[in-house]
Amino acid sequence: GAGVSQSPRYKVAKRGQDVALRCDPISGHVSLFWYQQALGQGPEFLTYFQNEAQLDKSGLPSDRFFAERPEGSVSTLKIQRTQQEDSAVYLCASSQLAGGDNEQFFGPGTRLTVL
Amino acid sequence: KQEVTQIPAALSVPEGENLVLNCSFTDSAIYNLQWFRQDPGKGLTSLLLIQSSQREQTSGRLNASLDKSSGRSTLYIAASQPGDSATYLCAVRPWGTGGFKTIFGAGTRPFVKA
């Protein structure tokens, strides 16, 4: 497909478990973003990659959150020792150019539920 | 600190009426403003992107205006249809912060009655 894909679409975790969420951006897109969306709210920025470089991680809520994009394409968001407040939809977006100031294309999201 | 507000959170209009959706932001130092549509349980679909130097963008029945000096953008959807019922989000990309954050409003959810 030509769009951004994310997997899994749904994830249920017990409190304290580690989870890994995957994002496949549009091929050739330089920029990649992760967002967290709570119910009824707009997405909140988590982190930004330009190719493999993580240039902004100011939105990560705690050191339990870690993201990587080792080859400048696929990205993984990892959450360690999940807590109930981590329950949300995690969205990934990519854009063609560097700098993050052009159009962003979003994936369908991963809905994480922490019990 | 940049904040984005969308009021009202929800509204109802009869089919065929024009939809007017509002977005306000507190700091005029932005690269661009983007409007998105989100259907329940789905990701965001980009509708229009307005660069800082532009005043409006149009695509089909959609028209978005940008007034940086007053910190406002308006999305107009002409001749609304039941299929236009979704959540519409606006987002600004601030500049001068040294980061790459995009800031979203909470969205407006119109319901178009057939």
pLDDT single digits (tens) A44-70 = 999 999 999 999 999 999 999 999 999
Residue B46 has its nearest CB partner, among A100, A105, A109, at A105
Determine, for residues B43 and A108 on separate chains, whether the beta-carbon distance falls below 8 Å.
yes
Segment B1-10 shows an average pLDDT of: 95
Residue A86 to residue A115: CA distance in whole angstroms: 10
> What's the confidence (pLDDT) of residue A1?
53
Beta bridge partners of A65: A79
Average pLDDT score, chain B: 94
Q: Tell me, what's the pLDDT at B96?
A: 75
Given this model, what pLDDT does residue A99 score?
A: 80
Mean pLDDT of chain A: 95
* B112 has pLDDT over 70: yes
pLDDT reported for residue B1? 85
In this prediction, residues B79-108 reach a mean pLDDT of: 92
CA distance A38 to chain B (A): 10
| Neighboring chain B residues of A109 at a CB cutoff of 8 Å | 42-43
Rounded to the nearest 5 degrees, what angle is found at the Cα of B68, between the Cα atoms of B45 and B35? 5
DSSP A77: E
Q: With 80 as the cut, is the pLDDT of residue A101 above it?
A: no
Read off the tokens for A15: 């409190």
CA A80, CA A92: separation in Å to the nearest integer?
Answer: 19
Inter-chain CB proximity A42 and B4 less than 8 Å: yes
> Residues A114, A87: contact at Cβ < 8 Å?
yes
Range name among A3-17, A41-55, A96-110 with the lowest pLDDT average: A96-110
- Which run of H or E residues covers position B62? strand B62-67
Residues of B with Cβ-Cβ distance to A33 under 8 angstroms:
100, 102
CA B108 to CA B31: how far, in whole Å?
A: 23
B34–A105 CB contact, under 8 Å: no
Q: Which of residues 21-80 of A touch B (CB under 8 A)?
A: 31, 33, 40-45, 48, 55-56, 58-59
Contact B89, B38 (CB under 8 A): yes
**Who contacts B12 (Cβ-Cβ below 8 Å, separation ≥6)?**
B110, B111, B112, B113
Please tell me the predicted confidence (pLDDT) of residue A65.
98
Structure tokens at A32: 């990649």
From the list A41, A91, A107, which residue is nearest B106 (CB)? A41
